[in-house]
Amino acid sequence: MKLDEKEIAGIIKEISGSDVKKCMKCGKCSATCPAYGEMKFHPHQFVTMVARGKIDELLKDETVTRCLSCFACVERCPRGVEPANVVAAVRVLAEREQGGSNFVPDEVPALIIADKEIPQQALVSAFRRYRK
Amino acid sequence: MNYSYYPGCTLKTKAQDLDFYGRESAAALGITLEELPEWQCCGAVYPIARDEIATKLSAIRALMAARDNGTPLVTLCSACHHVLTRVNGDMQRNADIRMKANNYLKPAVPYAGETRVIHYLQLLRDEIGFDNLKQAVKKPLKGRKIGAYYGCLLLRPSKEMQFDDPENPHIIEDFIKALGAEPVVYAMRNECCGGYVTLKSEAQAKENVDLIIKNARAHGAEELITACPLCMYNLRAHQDGSMPVRYITELLYEALGLREGGAADET
Ligand code: SF4
Ligand code: SF4
């Protein structure tokens, strides 16, 4: 079954728990985002695009994995929109689709060999955040 | 007093120092940390999507075990603390997650977030008290200029974490003062080190670490401390080695005079 853009946007709103309509487009979330230069779309754009139901571009964007889940945007949004949760919801949908993520668990062992100091915490995160 | 203790995966492997110094120091301060039997890895990242249930179960099992022990649950790793605190909040406030998790786990007594999760620093501040800690210090770390590196996970989202003022935290500075050293306050202390993105892009993590270390140095920090093994990794791996980084518990261990061969303490 194929869902259309609007339906998927609805799922994103639901699982992110974010009230995207509250956004007043001040841009504070993107101004504070440490991954700003790495992500094709910035936190305020995630919010706006989901609010409009125009998310095909977002779902295809591989740089979504560059979000650090640092919650700076959540903390500093004056409207309580929680942009990181919207980013995470988009990412989770990509991860849940077979082949949807641009990082697969098979790549993890090589990383351990490459750097023996990498903490388990990062590897567990990798399996969680970059799965399938 | 007794506390249940959740070390987490990294403290059993790459961050054994954080764990060892933490336990030894707690014991010296009269605190018994009782490791939960058969705890499982918390997953290291909090599953944000509201329909994620299975990924929260290991955290719920630990929270439930502490409830059954009748003790608060002490954490040390920032990531474990973040995950356990937020999952506990879900069990308190989100009826859907609570119902599904309980239906799956079928505990004798359903769990609704009764456990109090406290971070080691909160244990020092609220249960022991920084004034009492100061009294217990045998080797004050005089003259050392130490920058606290908070990172993200302990502080944010502050609505859920309720750890400290998210934009102007001072618990680690107060801790540093209690140990007799001089805390150095700098703006980047609560900005992200890059976290797990280092696996995807070292350059991205390095960029963050550069900003943090430059800022700390500009304010006069001569060393940094952290409670997070991943912050530790990033802060050490992505700099030239000129800024020492230590775990909070190592500093405590030193100040309590627990390190052998006194001279090394002067470094
Ligand atoms: S959580 Fe992600 S989107 Fe939000 S500020 Fe941090 S890196 Fe940027
Ligand atoms: S900070 Fe909040 S209100 Fe401002 S643009 Fe970002 S999501 Fe919208």
Q: Is residue B237 situated within a structural domain?
A: yes
Chain B residue at shortest CA distance from A114 = B199
Task: Label residue B265 by pLDDT band (50, 70, 90).
Answer: very low
Note down the domain range covering A108.
102-132
Task: Supply the pTM of this predicted model.
Answer: 0.94
Q: Is residue B249 situated within a structural domain?
A: yes
Percentage of chain B exceeding pLDDT 90: 93
pLDDT score for B185: 98
- Interface mutation vs chain A, best among B6, B9, B56, B200, most A CBs within 10 Å: B200
A68 ligand 1 Cβ < 6 A: yes
Q: Is residue B189 situated within a structural domain?
A: yes
Average pLDDT on A26-42 reads 97
Note whether B68 and B145 are same-domain residues: no
More confident residue, A95 or B209: B209
Q: Which two tokens stand for residue B155?
A: 């502080």
Helix axes A83-96, A5-16, angle to 10 degrees: 120
Closest CB to B230 among A66, A89, A121:
A121
- DSSP letter (8 states) at residue B36: P
Task: Label residue B260 by pLDDT band (50, 70, 90).
Answer: low
CA distance B78 to chain A (A): 10
- Which residue has the least CA distance to atom 2 on ligand 2? A77
CA distance A47 to chain B (A): 15
Q: Cβ neighbours of residue B207 under 8 Å, at least 6 residues apart?
A: B194
Task: Label residue A131 by pLDDT band (50, 70, 90).
Answer: low
Note whether B72 and B139 are same-domain residues: no
Task: Label residue A62 by pLDDT band (50, 70, 90).
Answer: confident
Q: Give the CA distances from residue B243 to residues A86, B207, B216, in Å, rounded to whole numbers and listed in that order.
A: 36, 16, 9
Chain A environment of B194 (Cβ under 8 Å):
34, 68
| C-alpha span between B26 and A74 (Å, rounded) | 34
pLDDT exceeds cutoff 90 at B36:
yes
Chain B environment of A70 (Cβ under 8 Å):
152, 156, 191-192, 195
Q: Where does a domain end: B61, B86, B120?
A: B120
Note whether A71 and A119 are same-domain residues: no
Note whether A108 and A59 are same-domain residues: no
Q: Is residue B263 situated within a structural domain?
A: no
Alpha helices in B7-157 (DSSP H): 16-28, 57-69, 78-93, 95-105, 120-122, 130-136
Kindly report the average pLDDT of chain A as a whole number: 89
Note whether B23 and B112 are same-domain residues: yes
DSSP letters spanning A40-79:
SS-HHHHHHHHHHT--HHHHH-GGGGG-----HHHHH-TT
Note whether A22 and A84 are same-domain residues: yes
Note whether A79 and A113 are same-domain residues: no
Q: Is the dihedral of CA A73, B154, B116, B73 positive or negative?
A: positive
pLDDT score for A124: 83
Note whether B96 and B170 are same-domain residues: no
Q: Could you report the per-residue pLDDT of B92-117, keeping only the tens digit for each?
A: 999 999 999 999 999 999 999 999 99
The residues pairing with B35 across neighbouring beta strands, listed in sequence order, are B5
More confident residue, B124 or A132: B124
Note whether B106 and B153 are same-domain residues: no
Q: Could you report the per-residue pLDDT of B157-181, keeping only the tens digit for each?
A: 999 999 999 999 999 999 999 999 9
Chain B residue at shortest CA distance from A103 = B200
Note whether A21 and A44 are same-domain residues: yes
Task: Label residue B199 by pLDDT band (50, 70, 90).
Answer: confident
- Total domains in chain B come to 2
ipTM of the modeled complex: 0.92
Note whether B101 and B67 are same-domain residues: yes
Q: Is residue B267 situated within a structural domain?
A: no
Note whether B175 and B237 are same-domain residues: yes
Q: Can you give the CATH number for the domain in which B162 is found?
A: 3.40.50.1860
Note whether A69 and A109 are same-domain residues: no
| C-alpha span between B20 and A96 (Å, rounded) | 38
More confident residue, A29 or A2: A29
pLDDT exceeds cutoff 90 at B31:
yes
Q: Is residue B104 situated within a structural domain?
A: yes
Three-class DSSP category at B150: coil
Note whether A72 and A36 are same-domain residues: yes
> What is the number of the ligand closest to the CA of A26?
2
Average pLDDT on B109-127 reads 98
Q: Cβ neighbours of residue B135 under 8 Å, at least 6 residues apart?
A: none
Note whether B155 and B108 are same-domain residues: no
Q: Give the CA distances from residue B186 to residues B21, B183, B189, B219, B248, in Å, rounded to whole numbers and listed in that order.
A: 26, 10, 6, 6, 17
Chain B environment of A72 (Cβ under 8 Å):
152, 156, 191-192
- Total domains in chain A come to 2
Q: Could you report the per-residue pLDDT of A98-109, keeping only the tens digit for each?
A: 776 666 777 777
Average pLDDT on A27-44 reads 97
| Interface contact flag, A66 B204, Cβ < 8 Å | yes
pLDDT score for A130: 67
pLDDT exceeds cutoff 70 at B261:
no
Query: In terms of Cα–Cα distance, which of B12, B173, B3 is closest to B77?
Result: B12
Residue in the structure block whose two tokens are 């356990």: B84
Residue in the structure block whose two tokens are 């090394």: B264
Note whether B172 and B246 are same-domain residues: yes
Note whether B9 and B111 are same-domain residues: yes
Q: Which residues of B touch A (CB under 8 A)?
A: 8-10, 13-15, 41, 43-52, 55, 77, 79, 152, 155-158, 166-167, 191-192, 194-201, 204, 208, 229-230, 232-233, 236-237
Radius of gyration for chain B, computed over Cα atoms and rounded to the nearest angstrom: 19
| Interface contact flag, A72 B152, Cβ < 8 Å | yes
Note whether A64 and A22 are same-domain residues: yes
Note whether A89 and A44 are same-domain residues: yes
Average pLDDT on B65-85 reads 97
Alpha helices in chain B (DSSP H): 16-28, 57-69, 78-93, 95-105, 120-122, 130-136, 158-161, 171-178, 202-218, 229-237, 248-255
Lowest mean pLDDT among A62-66, A69-73, B159-163, B249-253: A62-66
Note whether A121 and A65 are same-domain residues: no
pLDDT score for A68: 94
Note whether A66 and A129 are same-domain residues: no
Q: Can you give the CATH number for the domain in which B28 is found?
A: 1.20.1050.140
| C-alpha span between B245 and B236 (Å, rounded) | 7
Chain A environment of B57 (Cβ under 8 Å):
none
Protein residues whose CB sits closer than 6 Å to any atom of ligand 2: A 23-29, 43-44, 47, 77-79, 81, 83
The residues pairing with B4 across neighbouring beta strands, listed in sequence order, are B34, B73
Q: Can you give the CATH number for the domain in which A14 is found?
A: 1.10.1060.10
Q: Is residue B234 situated within a structural domain?
A: yes
pLDDT score for B262: 45
Contact B109, B60 (CB under 8 A): no
Note down the domain range covering B135.
129-255
Average pLDDT on B131-153 reads 98
Note whether A32 and A80 are same-domain residues: yes
